[in-house]
Amino acid sequence: MRTPVKRGIAAAAILTALLAGYRLGAGKWPDPRGSDASSQHGILTTSSAPQKARKVLYWKHPDRDTEFAAEPKKTADGRDYLPVYDDQEADFAEAKPKEPPMGAEGAPKKLLYYRNPMGLPDTSPVPRKDHMGMDYIPVYAGEEEDGGTVRVSVGKVQRSGVRTEPAAMRRLVRPIRAPGVAKPDERTLLTVALRADSFIEKLYVNETGRHVREGEPLFRVYSPDMVKVQVDYRIATSSGNREDKGALQRLQNLQVPTAVMDELKRTREPVISFDWPSPVSGVVMQKKAIEGMMMKAGDEMLRLADLSSIWVVADVAEQDLAQIRVGSKAKVTFRAFPNEVFDGRVTFILHELEMATRTAKVRVEVANPDHRIKHEMFSDVEINAGDGEPARLSVSVSALIDSGNRQVVIVDRGEGRFEPRSVKVGLRGDGYVEITEGIKAGDSVVVAANFLIDAESNLKAALSGFIAGPAAAAPERKP
């Protein structure tokens, strides 16, 4: 019985020692392996490490999340503002720039204040957050915003694909397209007709569409009136030994060919029948003469036309007519030659419109040396309306934000600042639009993602108008 009693007393002593060690060790059971083993496993038995000093960033109202102070301050009822430490702003170090940007002289820019990230007209002398947890944006010297500029962060500009181009003087080529029809050049049309009653003894050119050269015989003719004038000329010249001007003039009035007159002067004998030469080179458009028939004086025998140049008559819409000038270059594509473009030039604009279609006839002259273009061919005409006009201040069409009654371009002022400007527009063409008022040459305008910046500007204006009353009652906090 004595041995079990001794063992119970020993167990009670050990339990008492363990409880004492728990209290002394701040709620931790002592490690039976000693202090060395505890330190190796990261178990701190005593608080010997020094604590890191905490930095106060600012003081805030104990009840209101929107009231802050740069120095210790008391509320209206005498309570202290609560300090906010740097370890309580987990993202402050990331949001705050590591160092201020450099100025033109190479020195760091002076920090002026922090502005509201949503464009609200309030500022803060110290870093802070708005009610949604967004960091206020630092504003340095030279970066103060006026009412007409919008600031967009560099990261947002890059992610949104904002792209700029300078406004420059350009010659705006405005293509005007219209359907057209090929016609013969009316200036080359010629009618072959005799000035005396005649008989067609032989018809050399006896088919429509045949090409003839100047001087080539068209037909052989016998005319009693022409023979009589030749006889009169011979009588007049043989009696006076001098050329009778009256008889010579009568031969010229009847348009007797030169070869016949030379033969008459040489032989003094009248030529009874002779070949009638072609007065020009061209194509037979119409043929009314028939071999063996008698043609009265003035009757049309043949109609010739020179097809080395062709007219294309285009039907231009009334609203495009004022932009076309005589001399403007044009490109013509015929349905018969869809892969070939013919160069032309505007030579005339008809003085009246077609009442039914409200179109004007515009004449384009096209070279046709190989006679491939046939009259009455359908074609598509593209006229460069801006050809020959002076250069105009213009920007890309994508830079213009047109709401119907308001036209705006976004001007890049650098360092993430953008200014929407109202402009007046003029002519358009070749992917550009003329700006007559609002910007000057060299201004960098946004040509891509400009609707994003315009939305930022409209949001800023809306917010400013929404809080205009409260902002006037409570003055802004500025440094």
Q: What pLDDT sits at residue 477? A: 46
Per-residue model confidence (pLDDT) at position 51: 60
Q: What is the per-residue pLDDT across 252-276, written as a single tens digit (0 to 9) for each?
A: 899 999 999 999 988 889 999 999 9
Q: Is the pLDDT of residue 240 over 70?
A: no
Q: What is the pLDDT of residue 119?
A: 59
CA–CA distance, 234 with 240 (Å, rounded to integer): 11
The pLDDT of residue 27 is above 50: no
Give the pLDDT band of residue 28 (cuts 50, 70, 90).
Answer: very low
**Amino acid 38: pLDDT:** 42
- Does residue 34 surpass a pLDDT of 90? no
From the CB of residue 116, how many other CB atoms can be counted at a distance below 10 Å?
A: 17
pTM for the full predicted model: 0.53
pLDDT at 290: 93
pLDDT score of 36 more than 60: no
Phi, psi dihedrals of residue 131, rounded to the nearest 5°: -70, -15
What 3-state class would DSSP assign to 9? helix
Tokens of 194: 């005799």
Phi, psi of 217 (to 5 degrees): -65, 135
Tokens of 269: 């004998």
Q: Which residue has the higher pLDDT, 203 or 461?
A: 203
Which residues, other chains included, contact 265 with Cβ-Cβ below 8 Å and sequence gap of 6+?
none
> Is residue 65 predicted with pLDDT exceeding 80?
no
Q: Is the pLDDT of residue 462 over 60?
A: no
8 A C-beta contact, residue 174 and residue 323: yes
pLDDT band at 128 (very low <50, low <70, confident <90, very high): confident
What is the Cα–Cα distance from 173 to 431, expressed in whole angstroms?
9
Average pLDDT over residues 145-168: 72
CA 9 to CA 13: how far, in whole Å?
6
42 pLDDT band, cuts 50/70/90, is very low
Of 14-28, 69-83, 284-298, 317-331, least confident by mean pLDDT is 14-28
Q: Which of 75-79, 130-134, 397-401, 463-467 has the lowest mean pLDDT?
A: 463-467
Residue 25 to residue 16: CA distance in whole angstroms: 14
Question: Which range is least confidently modeled, 129-138, 164-173, 286-295, 327-336?
Answer: 129-138
Of 106-110, 147-151, 163-167, 327-331, give the lowest mean pLDDT range. Answer: 147-151
pLDDT for 457 equals: 61
Q: What is the pLDDT of residue 185?
A: 92
In the numeric block, which tokens belong to residue 315? 């039907």
**pLDDT given for residue 25 in this prediction:** 45
Q: Which residue has the higher pLDDT, 295 or 7?
A: 295
- Residues 157-205: tens digit of each pLDDT: 666 678 889 999 988 878 899 999 999 999 999 999 999 999 999 999 9
Pairing of strands 56-60, 190-193: unpaired
Predicted local confidence at residue 108, as pLDDT? 77
State yes or no: pLDDT of 2 exceeds 60: no
Question: What is the per-residue pLDDT for 295?
Answer: 92
Residue 470 pLDDT > 70: no
Of 354 and 100, the structure prediction assigns the larger pLDDT to 354
Q: What is the pLDDT of residue 294?
A: 94
Instruction: Say whether pLDDT at 67 is over 60.
Output: yes
* Whole-number Å distance between alpha carbons of 370 and 34: 114
Concatenating the DSSP letter of every residue in 284-304 gives: EEEE---TT-EE-TT-EEEEE
Q: Which amino acid is at 131?
A: H
Higher pLDDT, 76 or 451: 76
